[in-house]
Amino acid sequence: MASLRALRLSALTRVNSPVSRLVARTYSTKWLGRRLRCEHVLDSRHSAYQAAESLIGLKERLAELIPEKQEEVKWVKKELGAKVLGEVTVDQAYGGMRGIKGMIWEGSVLDADEGIQFHGYTIPDCQKKLPAADGGEEPLPEGLFWLLVTGEIPTKEQVKLVSTEWAARSALPSFVEELIDRCPNTLHPMSQFALAVTALQHESTFAKAYAAGTNKSKYWDSTYEDSMDLIAKLPNIAGRIYRNVFKDGKVPTIDMDKDYSYNLSKLLGYSDNKDFVELIRLYLTIHSDHEGGNVSAHTGIVSLEAATFYVCDSDSLFPTIPQTHLVGSALSDPYLSFAAGLNGLAGPLHGLANQEVLRWIIHMKDELGSTEVSDEQIKEYIWKTLKGGQVVPGYGHAVLRVGIYVFDVRLGNSLVWFGQYLAEKTDPRYTAQREFALKHLPTDPMFKLVSQLYNIVPGVLNEHGKTKNPWPNVDAHSGVLLQYYGLVEQDYYTVLFGVSRSLGVLAQLIWDRALGMPLERPKSYSTAHIKKMFANK
């Protein structure tokens, strides 16, 4: 049998061989050449590659899709470029630009009825259609990334290719490992996370290509390489931070034969629990993308057969991690762009909601003295929270509609019955986590308490009258699940959120470069200028 080096060189030079076709599709020559450590991966998967020679890798599929998307965008700009998306009010300018329609985001859209959709696929759709690990049921995040990049559901074999590539790209430069290790344990995990990602910019393929004068039509290629490298390295960064801050500082190694979520779980120290690994697969998938900015709120009236629906919306929500998109528009590479997003995520209005939920539940349990509490006790505690000028964390969604459904039933021209009810619009990401809990931890006291809240809080909030959508969102559940499996360090939860969100923002950044999206530069006004604009109106 040929040596490993000979096999690798053969795969790169014999373009008609089955191995070379697949490797060339899946890995760039530059990437494969500079990572000798993956030679044993090539060797162990030689037969698998030969069997899968007809597969199309992610990068090759993306290269096929880019010209089509470029033509589509060119048509939209030519035919629809003068169309008005909406108006802007002074309140919106002062209100964080909520609801202003002025951003392109391809991967996901928040639907008022179905919640988040990834290229048209809902959370339940993704759970049914995206490939799962052998013996598992939850979708693999690798499959969702393929969907975000291509708009297509991948095969199990294509997902395996992404898993293999991320594992082989996962090693951190020694100076980044040393940088993390030198951080004091008192430095917040998110600060360490952003620091490590920024330091990885030293490895940026895009930065080097740009400095060398590469044609802008090729920007997407080096952005793709950086994005794949960065996503692949995040478990090692996140795991190292967790082990240093909360454990003994000993970091396990990536298992080249396992998927992304398994390896993240292993680095955290929980891979022996297959249910925890499944939870991480679900967690990374449902938290991966949530549009690119603010979503406008609106009120509409819809008719359906004999019923009339008066649908009332809530206000728009805060952006998730728009900083990645904004900074990337300056042609900052994926490392700098994502680091900016992480710094935004670390703010209390963004990524800390699940911590606030868990702390609120624990405080309630401690004050009431037990997890075995009556519905009446919970109602009293909720009212105490509201009367104290606080909100019930984890409840309310800024985009999902709460429909007041009004029905009338007639026989001929006579009105027989008239009624209305408030329709439930629970965040499907919450529902996915609840279904997971019902299957894996139905008797856990904290989950039972969360279930009581699920049945009680909406009614109290409706009676309170100041919450337009009283149903739970994704943050109302995730902390309790993580705590059940032993990951109790609440300050770390946002790091997991950041790992997940990399899939969405970096998929979009690749497309930003492929479509030649320009530098963002909205117009700003001073208060004095606004007063002057409307002085005589």
CA distance readout (Å), 458 to 257, 279, 503:
45, 26, 32
Parallel, antiparallel, or unpaired: how do β-strands 307-312 and 402-411 relate?
antiparallel
Phi then psi for 301, rounded to 5 degrees?
A: -125, 125
pLDDT tens column, 282-319: 999 999 998 876 322 222 323 323 332 222 333 333 34
Q: What is 63-84+105-288's CATH topology?
A: Citrate Synthase; domain 1 (1.10.580)
For the chain, where do the domains classified as CATH 1.10.580.10 start and end?
63-84+105-288
For the chain, where do the domains classified as CATH 1.10.230.10 start and end?
300-319+351-485
Give me the residues paired with residue 425 across strands. Answer: none
Name the token pair of 420.
Answer: 């209305």
Strands of the sheet with 300-304, listed across from one edge = 300-304, 307-312, 402-411, 414-422
The CATH number corresponding to 300-319+351-485 among 3.30.479.10, 1.10.230.10, 3.10.690.10, 1.10.3720.10 equals 1.10.230.10
Tens-digit pLDDT string for the chain (537 aa): 433 333 333 333 333 333 333 333 334 433 443 443 444 443 444 434 333 445 789 999 999 999 999 999 999 999 999 999 889 899 888 887 777 777 888 999 888 778 899 999 999 999 999 999 999 999 999 999 999 999 999 999 999 999 999 999 999 999 999 999 999 999 999 999 999 999 999 999 999 999 999 999 999 999 999 999 999 999 999 999 999 999 999 999 999 999 999 999 999 999 999 999 999 999 999 999 988 763 222 223 233 233 322 223 333 333 444 455 677 777 889 999 999 989 888 876 667 788 889 999 999 999 998 878 999 999 999 999 999 999 899 887 666 654 443 444 455 555 544 444 445 678 899 999 999 999 999 999 999 999 999 999 999 998 998 877 888 988 899 999 999 999 999 999 999 999 999 999 999 999 999 999 888 778 888 999 888 999 987
> In the 8-state DSSP scheme, what is residue 139?
B
Strand residues in 263-401 grouped as ranges (E): 300-304, 307-312
Catalytic residue annotation: 350, 397, 475
